[in-house]
Each structure stands twice: as C-alpha cells, then as structure tokens.
Chains A and B, each alone.
Chain A
Amino acid sequence: MIECIDLTKRYGKFIAVDHLTLQMAERSALALWGANGAGKTTVIKCLLGLLRFEGAIRVDGLDVRRQGRAVRQRIGYVPQELAFYKEMTAFEMAAFYARLKGAPAERIDPVLEQVGLSEHLAKPVGALSGGMKQRLALGLALLSDPPVLVMDEPTANLDAAARSQLLQLLAQVKAAGKTILFTSHRIEEVETLADEVAVMERGRLQFTCDSTSLAQRIGLRTQVKFIVPGHEVERALEVLRDGGLAARRNGVGVIVDVSHGEKARPIHTLSRARIEVIDFEVE
C-alpha cells in the first residue's frame, strides 16, 4: 500500500532521511520508531508532498510527486498537534475540510459522533481540550473515509486519560481495516496499535521487527516509582540493590530502573522482604 524507495531528504549538508526503503501491506499498521530528530516526521512530510525529496514514494501505486492530490485523497493525516483556525467551531472546521476533501456533508455528524465530539460542535476550536483537539484531528482525517491513516506522534501531547481514550479510538479504526502509518516514541502506543515497527536512527532505517518484540530488541528500560512507608525507604533500597536492581531514592519514594517486561520484579522483591508497597507508578 505504501512504498518508499531510496527516500533521501537533505537540508543542505544535513541528511534528515538517508536512503530509506520501506514497504507496507494493505490493512497493516506500521510504526516509525525513533528518538526526536531520527527523521520520522520528515518521512511523513515527504509522503504528504510537503517536502521535496530524492527517491520515490508510492501510495496505492500512485507517485507522490506526480499524483500528489490523488495520493492525499487516499490519506487521512493526523498531525502531532493540529494547527487550528482558532476562531472556527469544531463543526465549521469539519465542514471546511469536508468540502476540501470532497467528502459528503452527511459524513460530518457520524464522524464527529464517532470521535466523541457531538456535544462540542458549536465550541470554538481554541476552547477544546488537548484530547478533544486530537480527536477532532482524527475525525477530520476520517471524513472522506480514506484507506490510509497517517499520524505523527498522535498522543505525544496528551495526558494519560486522553491518551488511552484516543488509543481506544484508533484501535477501532484499525479494526475497521485502515492501513495505518504513524510515528512514535511511546512503547505502549506501538504495542497497542502497530503490527510492525521500523526503527530509525539519524535518518537511517536500523531494522524492522514485530511490534511485540520491539522493547526487547531495543533493550527498553522503564522507571517504576514505589511509595513505601517512610521508615522502610532505606531498607527497601538495600533489598532492591541486593536483588540486582538499580534503585535510587526520590523524595518519599524509590525509583527502580527495570527492563521492559519485568516491571513486576521489584514488587515481588519488596513483598518477599515484607515491605509494604503503598503505591507505584510507571513512568
């Protein structure tokens, strides 16, 4: 469905994307994984025809450079943070983009219903919360029911509740059979949404892997914060370190650095030592 061949983007001497070749099957979901500056967003901007690039990108067999409009017709795009015309209402915004996309006006209501904005149609976009804005962005992307959904860090600027709400929505969208390409640096996002992951570093594709094995492949570590009774903090640190875990004190709590997939280990260690865990938090 999406095909990048030798995609290269230079800014003067700086190479943002370096001979990237990628293929995506229809109805699959691919995450572009990498740190900030790895070139993920650049790939998406090239795909949308916003940047000039070397190499070729094809969507549904259509060339991005020569058939840009047809390509974009097939893509619903959700930016990292939607730049809004602040004074428009959510509904006006949807109506505006529906007309640009040639989507029928009857689609507006069901789509906004789908993304849970039915109660907020008459609000100016500037007054919506971050989560609502991002759901509106998703709604706009889905207006013309395009086969492909392209998202740039869709949940990056959201709080936990808004993030899970959006991920739920996206899971539905995926289930409905869309091809999804998105950039991310959040493992939970990747694990929920992606089938495959392409890992990028400094513009180059390092490897691709199954989304479930990503954490392991990249040796992902997670910090878990525990709250234990104040008089037990010293003992907890000792016990954890004895158990081979990297632990340090943080205010009233203890922070433990674990690899992805063994977040429960410190709890076991602490409970074996009969130290009460009052609360914990995964960062």
Chain B
Amino acid sequence: MQGIAQTTQASTPYGHATLQALIDAAKPGDTVLVPAGVYVGPIQIDKPLTLEGRLWPVIQGDGQGNVVAITAPNVTLRGFVVRGSGTSLDREDSAIRASAPNSVLENNRIEDALFGIYLERAADSIVRGNTIYGMELPLSRRGDGLKIFYSPRTLVEGNVMRNTRDAILWYSPDSPVRGNDFADGRYGLHLMQSDRHVIEENILRNNSVGVYVMYGSGFELRRNLIINNRGPSGYGVGLKEANDVLLEGNRILSNRVGVYSDGSPLRPGSTVTYRNNLFAYNEIGLEMLPNTERNRFHDNIFLDNGQQVTVAGGGDLLRNEWAMDGRGNYWSDYAGFDADGDAIGDLPYAAKSLYDTLTGVYPELRLFQLSPAVDALDLAAKAFPLFAPQPRLSDPAPLMQPPALPPTPGLEPAPTTANLIVALVMVAAALFIVWAGRRGPGGRRYVNVGKTHRATARS
C-alpha cells in the first residue's frame, strides 16, 4: 500500500452513484471506508484504491454481468457483501472480477453469485478469508466459486466456499493454497498446467473430486482433510500426468476413490511420493492405471478401504516402491506376523484378491461388493491356488502398527449421546419383546392364581 494515501469516509451511502462516485472521486492510493448500507452495483474500480467495508456494506448487483470489476493493479477490497451477479456461463458473470496484478480480496462475503472471485491475469494477488456461496442451480449451470487464471504467485488462504462448481487454478504457478474449506461443489480444487504449488491444511469435503492435479510438476499436498468426495467419478485426489508430487500427512477418508493416479509421474526421472497419509474408509483406497511407475509409498495407513488398491483395467503395480529404507505401509488387512519383533511384518503384504483382480478388468462386478459371495470367491481362490491371481502389488516391509499422523483441520465429533440413547432404546425394546415372550400364553397371573388357590384349598 502507498504510504501517502488519504482516507475518506463516505457520508451518504445511498445508491449506485454514491459508491461509484466515491471511487471516481478518490485519488489513486486512497483508502475509502464504506459504512453499512446497500450500494447498487455494478461497480468498477479502475485505479489503485483500498475499499474497506465497515459493518458489512452490501454491493447489490442487478443480476447482469459482474458486480465488482477491478481493472487497475493494487486494489484492495475488504469487508463487503457482494451479491447478485448475472447468470451467463459464457460471459462468466462474477461477483468480483479482477484483471490486474496485486489485487487483494479479503474478508468479503459473496452470495448469490455465478462465479465468485475471478482473477484473470492478476499475478501476485491475495484471496484471503472470503466466504463464497454459489447460486442454487443444478451443477451444470453453476459457475466457479474461485477461478484463478494466468495469475501466478497468488495466495489463496482461509476461504470458505459452498455450493459452487469448482475452485480453479490454471496457469498460475507458485500459488500456495492453504487453510481453505471447499465443500459441496464439483472440483474442490482443480489445478491445471500450473507448477510448484503448496496445498496445505485445506478441507475438501463433499465434492465430486477433492483435489485434481493435471499436467504440471512440483506439487506438495500436506495435511489436508479430504473427505466424502463422491459421485460417478469421485476422487479424493486425482493426479493426471503430474510430476514430482509429494503427498504427506493427508487424511483421505470416505471418498469413492481415495487417490486416483493416471500417468503420474509422466516425465522421466520424476516421482510421486506418498508418505504418512491415511487412506481410510474409501470405497477404493488407491486406484492406479496399470504400468504406473516411480510411485513411492511408505508410512501410509491403508485402513478398511472397501478395496485397498486396485488397478484400473487390470495389470499390476509392481514397478513402484512400496517401502523406503525398510519401512513400508500399514495395511489393515495384513494377515502376517512379526516374529522378530522389529515392528515390521515378516511376510510381504501382497494384494492378490481374485475378486479385486476381476473388478479391475470388469468393474461392473463391483455390484457384488459386500456380498458374502465375494468372500467365498476369495476363499476359494486361496484354497485352490490354481485360480489365485498374480499379486498386484507387494509391500516388502508392512508395518505392524499404524504410524502416528500429523493433525489435520476439521474433524467433527460424532453425536455420541444421541447414538447411545438410540442404541439403548433398541436393547430395551428387544428385551421387552423377550420379556413378553417369557410371560408366555396364559400369563403369570393364572399360574399364581392356580397355585395359591390350591394352597389355600388344602390348608
């Protein structure tokens, strides 16, 4: 910010003319404090300014085009409610659209917007602490809550996004994404043709895809909570032709597919490393295309995924490293033992379920998931090794105990009391039925009457 800026207090906060006029009247570098009130958009900011809302002034769009357009560099917009963009996907109607470098969009609340915040050729910008609510539209007609386009070195931090389509970072290398909470959309975070990103401590929840990384290199995904991303092609994390990727300390829970890896790494000599992640309760923990190479796994926890690791289309994953420096991963379905007490299983973990192999080739057979027939099939394959398939992967040093994980944000406690009450009611109801049955036909009353009657008659 410029040190010689002047601060102006807007006095008559009514109408479009007022806010726009205020902006028009301000000198470049000024800070304009805007009091509460409803200001009619659209607004254009075409000079370096700091606009700061006091008590959530509202900039109300007219349902056409963008609501706030920033066309000059070094603009800061802070503390506003911005709502009512147009609905045209072709024009990409946005609540806030910045097309100049060094834009700072901070602590704004965006509602009823087709696109929320759209940075286009706005390098070195900051998008921080905004809350973005999309329009109640079917997914196919929604816009992107956050679109960062050709804007390298942009910081995306602490934003909350709901009910939009995607958060996109395309062609915007070196942009860290940290501490955001993106839920209920299509792509929680979509990176494309963009290198060197740190993606840290975000919550990606209930989207179709948590994080999708396409075509680029140098990604570090750390300590994110990636949970419940489902849908026909739902992935917790998708990697497509991404090079030099590190996933560390992420909790990848309850997604359709925890991590889907397609041609990553692509570039010779580059690697994808999975370290200390938790893959738990996903329908498929890890799904990779066959002949994927140079993936390294160690100290990960594969816990109770419907299928731990599958190979899409059949084949194996033997050309990856499933242990580093004598430490492999923890597999909840490992059936081996540790006689020498070094906390490493004495037999390798080998994934060779016949059913898993079959579903790799014929995915429609996943219909039989959870059926006892599947267990019977695998048991039969074990009993008659003739049918036993080749292992798809082999972890030479499976861990006997799950390694400790770093904390991630955003896990909610379960509704314990309600569950306890419900469970106790079930037990009580069952016991009541048992009691009713024990009374038996005729009931106790008759028996007692009979016996006492007899006793008195005799005495």
Contact = CB atoms under 8 A, between A and B. Distances in A.
Interface of A: 88-89, 91-92, 94-96, 98-99, 105, 108-109, 118-119, 121-122
B454 A96 contact: no
Contacts of A95: 441-443, 446-447
Interface string B424-459: 000000000000000011110011011101100000
Nearest to B447: A91
A98 B442 contact: yes
A96 B443 CA distance: 9
B447 to A, nearest CB: 6
A106 to B, nearest CB: 9
Contacts of A92: 440-442, 446-447
Contacts of A88: 440
Per DSSP, chain B at the interface is: helix
Given A92-B441, A99-B441, A121-B454, A108 B447 contact: no
Contact of B442 (A99, A118, A119): A99
A105 B447 contact: no
A95 B454 CA distance: 16
Contacts of A91: 442, 446-447, 450
30 contacts: A88-B440, A89-B447, A91-B446, A91-B447, A91-B450, A92-B440, A92-B442, A92-B446, A94-B442, A95-B442, A95-B443, A95-B446, A95-B447, A96-B441, A96-B442, A98-B442, A99-B441, A99-B442, A105-B446, A105-B449, A108-B450, A109-B449, A109-B453, A118-B454, A119-B454, A121-B447, A121-B450, A121-B454, A122-B447, A122-B451
A91 B447 CA distance: 7
A193 B295 CA distance: 97
B451 A121 contact: yes
A280 B441 CA distance: 50
Per DSSP, chain A at the interface is: helix
B452 to A, nearest CB: 11
Contacts of A94: 442
Contacts, number: 37
Contacts of B440: 88, 92
Contacts of A105: 446, 449
Contacts of A98: 442
Nearest to B457: A118
A20 B223 CA distance: 92
Nearest to B445: A105
A4 B290 CA distance: 83
A109 B457 CA distance: 12
Nearest to A112: B450
Nearest to A106: B449
| 9 closest Cβ pairs, A-B complex | A95-B442, A96-B441, A95-B446, A91-B450, A121-B450, A92-B442, A96-B442, A91-B447, A105-B446
A151 to B, nearest CB: 24
Contacts of B453: 109
A98 B446 CA distance: 11
B241 to A, nearest CB: 73
Contacts of A118: 454
A202 B232 CA distance: 75
Nearest to A90: B450
Q: Which of A95, A105, A109 has the most CB of B within 10 A?
A: A95
Q: Which of B441, B442, B443, B449 has the most CB of A within 10 A?
A: B442
Interface in B16-36: none
Interface in B398-443: 440-443
Contacts of B442: 91-92, 94-96, 98-99
A94 B453 CA distance: 16
B292 to A, nearest CB: 66
Given A88-B440, A92-B440, 11 more contacts: A92-B447, A95-B441, A95-B442, A95-B443, A96-B442, A98-B442, A99-B441, A105-B446, A108-B446, A109-B449, A121-B454
Nearest to A92: B442
A126 to B, nearest CB: 16
A235 to B, nearest CB: 58
A92 B443 CA distance: 8
Contacts of A99: 441-442
A120 to B, nearest CB: 10
A122 B442 CA distance: 13
Contacts of B449: 105, 109
Nearest to A100: B441
A109 B441 contact: no
Contacts of A109: 449-450, 453
